[in-house]
Amino acid sequence: MRGVSFDARAGEILGLVGPNGAGKTTTLRCVAGILKLDAGSVLVDGVDALAHPVEAKRRLALVPDEPQLFARLTVWEHLELAARLYRVPGWEPVARELLEELELYERRDTLAEALSRGMRQKVAVASAMLHGPSLLMLDEPLVGLDPRGIRTLFATLQRRAAAGQAVLMSSHLLSQIEGLCTRFLIMREGSVLCCGSKAEIAAQLPALRGDASLEEIFFSATEAEGR
């Protein structure tokens, strides 16, 4: 990772894209405080994550690319655990609303080990959102979701952004996230190549048309000589 600098703004969904090994997961883990920075700083909702790591972590949530649930806990018990860890008062109505929103409420008493990959993914998302983080980060959240699950998740993320949260998500499924994200952060080999809306990034790549797709922008940016 070299000189990675960007902001995820309140009310937006920022798409983090790049080839395998670009540093997407590492970036998310650094922001979340899982990996230690050698230099630089991370601010989460104005809180210095290096000086005040616990307070910063209270203001964010990270859903990893392979969520590890507790096999013998039910869906509801996972949300109860999240509520206890983050000390969320009156969490039950919020938990019910999240489960209904993600189409999980009918499975609230199901053990995690009995859930499909997509359902486990949605349980992890619901648990991450329970404490109302200012920054919600998701690493490849579409893996394992069927088309209905993707549509449900997108609607949930759009509602969170509309409520003022910042959403940062990585994905290889460019065509899926093209219409969802407000801006895009394109990385390669641990560096940021460009950041902005599709139009803003395309303007930096003179070989592209103004209506270039995200896929065209991605390949032009990541395969350009000298970048």
CA dist., res. 168 & res. 127, Å (int): 17
Share of the chain above pLDDT 70, in %: 97
Whole-number pLDDT of residue 144: 87
Q: List the domain boundaries for the chain.
A: 13-223
User: Contact, 221 vs 194, CB < 8 A?
Assistant: yes
Whole-number pLDDT of residue 159: 96
User: Which of 7, 12, 3 minimizes the C-alpha distance to 44?
Assistant: 7
User: Which of 164, 78, 89, 165 minimizes the C-alpha distance to 126?
Assistant: 78
Apex CA 160: angle with CA 115 and CA 89, to 5°? 75
For the segment 184-219, what is each residue's pLDDT rounded down to a tens digit? 999 999 999 999 999 999 888 877 876 889 999 999
User: Which of 62, 22, 91, 21 minimizes the C-alpha distance to 168?
Assistant: 62
Composition of the chain by helix, strand, coil, percent to 5:
40, 15, 45
| Amino acid in position 76 | W
Q: Does domain 13-223 have CATH number 3.40.50.300?
A: yes
The pLDDT of 129-154, averaged and rounded, is 96
Whole-number pLDDT of residue 108: 97
Provide φ and ψ at 117, rounded to 5°.
-60, -45
Whole-number pLDDT of residue 205: 86
CA dist., res. 97 & res. 219, Å (int): 40
User: Contact, 16 vs 187, CB < 8 A?
Assistant: yes
For the segment 55-77, what is each residue's pLDDT rounded down to a tens digit? 999 999 999 998 899 999 999 99
Residue 225 pLDDT > 80: no
For the segment 25-51, what is each residue's pLDDT rounded down to a tens digit? 999 999 999 998 888 999 999 999 999
The pLDDT of 131-135, averaged and rounded, is 97
Residue 226 pLDDT > 70: no
Share of the chain above pLDDT 90, in %: 86
User: Looking at residue 110, what DSSP letter applies?
Assistant: S
CB atoms within 10 A of CB 15: 23
User: Which of 149, 171, 150, 167 minimizes the C-alpha distance to 158?
Assistant: 167
Q: What is the pTM of this model?
A: 0.93
User: Looking at residue 39, what DSSP letter applies?
Assistant: S
Go through the chain and tell me how many residues it has. 227
User: Which of 215, 62, 58 minimizes the C-alpha distance to 125?
Assistant: 62
